[in-house]
Structure 1
Amino acid sequence: MLVTYLEASRDLCETDSILFSAALAVCRIIGAKVSTARRATGNSSAIPAWRRRIEERIAKARALIGRLICFRTGNNRPRILRTVRMAFAGTNVSLSQPDITQKLTERIDDLKQRIAAWGKRIRRYTERSTRFNQNRLFQSDQKRL
């Protein structure tokens, strides 16, 4: 049965799928346990999870800064207003205060400082990881380093 499918396959990807399916069927028949979670998701990204999380925080903060700047320039669309209200949630700042532009500027500066801190954290973690890998490589194989 496998021969007929392999002869009908058109490309390498299809051949790979056929062989994987056959191997999976054999493992099920003999009762061997096979973990297909990694293959099914395909989420073997080279970017570490901690870095992706920090970069997502940075992207959200930049989007918030953009919306706060839009509001400061006079854009009063409902989505912008909702975002500005969420940005000041938990504080006793209302959008009708006379010093709202100062509060907006302070919030924008605060977000920019957080973005800078997160960027430094990424840089520090990456440098530490590089140092660690180079030290390990130096100890194991100095020529490859």
Structure 2
Amino acid sequence: MLVTYLKASRDLCETDSILFGAALAVCRIIGAKLSTAGRATGQSSAIPAWRIRIEERIAKARALIGRLICFRLGNIRPRIVRTVRMAFAGTNVSLSQPDIMQKLTECIDDLKQRIAAWGKRIRRYTERSTRFNQNRLFQSDQKRLYKSLERPMVSGTGPATDQADTVAFWRSLWSEPVNHNEGPWTEVVASQCAGIMPMDPVIITPDDVAEAVRRAPNWKSPGFDGLHHYWLKGFMVCHAVLARQFQEALNQKSLPSLFTTGITHLVPKGAEGTTHSRTSTAKKRCCLY
């Protein structure tokens, strides 16, 4: 089906939309989980379902412990009594027994042991998930893995960066018009470059596109289009179309804004994060070009 749709593609934007639709169709067919927060999204930070279930059990056990302790201290309100009876349901324990206080203590200790076991299970599952993610990241992007291992832990105790101050700093660099005085040196450089022979015309072939895609990491953060390099490697029928359309863009000296617009992340430098020094990285989808 891709061959039919790609033949009708008129520019890079349409080709990108066709490839994204094909990737989406494949994910739906194989039952892969999809993000619903938009096309340009990062990694999901949602809490896994198994952890939610265990944390709910812990919360219910702690609430039950609190009511059992209240009953042991002499609180006989109907809600407390009803909860204690439900806790001993299915056993031969009666609230009128002389050793009910001992039974309450044993039940509380049992619940505390269960909470400790559930907590260990969460830690064990978390460590296993971390190892799994690191192994998968090692196979796809070793550089990113090593950076994550070397990154120091952030305590978060320092003062937060002032948002208005940050916006004002970057607006002064990017938004305010600046009149540059190039001076006479530009004429000197132009005269020196007049005798340089121009380079031969660049011809982009499908093999060039395939080689560029082969060297790109599979799951590197995409741009606004949300299309990972993995799909460009799998949909090999698009290489010829991309080569032709990139050649047209090169001849016209113009690229669509989709390939030149990126997401900028501000990373404070320094321990306190109050300085104006920042590192910005733009995720751009013009690697093939």
Answer whether TM exceeds 0.5 for this pair: yes
Are the counterparts in 2 of residues 9 and 15 from structure 1 also a CA contact under 8 Å?
yes
Q: Which has the higher helix share?
A: 1
Q: CA deviation at 1:7?
A: 36
Q: 2: CA distance between counterparts of 1:62 and 1:70?
A: 12
Match of 1:61 in 2: 61
When structure 1 is superposed on structure 2, of 45-54 and 100-109 the one drifting more is: 45-54
Are the counterparts in 2 of residues 38 and 44 from structure 1 also a CA contact under 8 Å?
no
Q: Structure 2 vs 1, CA of residues 19 and 132 (structure 1 numbering), >3 Å: closer, same or farther?
A: closer
Q: CA deviation at 1:82?
A: 0.2
Q: CA deviation at 1:2?
A: 30
Match of 1:8 in 2: 8
- Deviation readout 1:82-140 (Å, 9 max, x if unpaired): 00000000000000111001000000000000000011111100110000000111122
Q: CA deviation at 1:142?
A: 1.3
- Deviation readout 1:63-99 (Å, 9 max, x if unpaired): 0000000000000000000000000000000001110
When structure 1 is superposed on structure 2, of 73-82 and 7-16 the one drifting more is: 7-16
Are the counterparts in 2 of residues 2 and 22 from structure 1 also a CA contact under 8 Å?
yes
CA RMSD after TM alignment: 8.5
Q: How many residues align?
A: 144
- Deviation readout 1:25-76 (Å, 9 max, x if unpaired): 9999999999999999999870111111110000000000000000000000
Q: Structure 2 vs 1, CA of residues 19 and 128 (structure 1 numbering), >3 Å: closer, same or farther?
A: closer
The two structures have a TM-score, normalised by structure 1, of: 0.69
When structure 1 is superposed on structure 2, of 83-92 and 12-21 the one drifting more is: 12-21
Q: Structure 2 vs 1, CA of residues 9 and 84 (structure 1 numbering), >3 Å: closer, same or farther?
A: farther
When structure 1 is superposed on structure 2, of 124-133 and 17-26 the one drifting more is: 17-26
Q: 2: CA distance between counterparts of 1:12 and 1:95?
A: 76
Q: 2: CA distance between counterparts of 1:14 and 1:141?
A: 29
- Computing the radius of gyration from Cα coordinates, the structure with the larger value is 2
| % identical equivalent positions | 92
Q: State whether structure 2 residue 27 is matched by structure 1 residue 27.
A: yes
Are the counterparts in 2 of residues 27 and 33 from structure 1 also a CA contact under 8 Å?
yes
Match of 1:81 in 2: 81
When structure 1 is superposed on structure 2, of 45-54 and 30-39 the one drifting more is: 30-39
Q: Structure 2 vs 1, CA of residues 21 and 131 (structure 1 numbering), >3 Å: closer, same or farther?
A: closer
Unaligned runs of 5+ in 1: none
Are the counterparts in 2 of residues 61 and 111 from structure 1 also a CA contact under 8 Å?
yes
When structure 1 is superposed on structure 2, of 14-23 and 90-99 the one drifting more is: 14-23
Q: CA deviation at 1:24?
A: 16
Q: 1: CA distance between counterparts of 2:60 and 2:16?
A: 39
Unaligned runs of 5+ in 2: 145-289
Are the counterparts in 2 of residues 51 and 122 from structure 1 also a CA contact under 8 Å?
yes
The two structures have a TM-score, normalised by structure 2, of: 0.36
The higher-RCO structure (CA 8 Å, 6+ apart) is 2
When structure 1 is superposed on structure 2, of 33-42 and 67-76 the one drifting more is: 33-42
Match of 1:51 in 2: 51
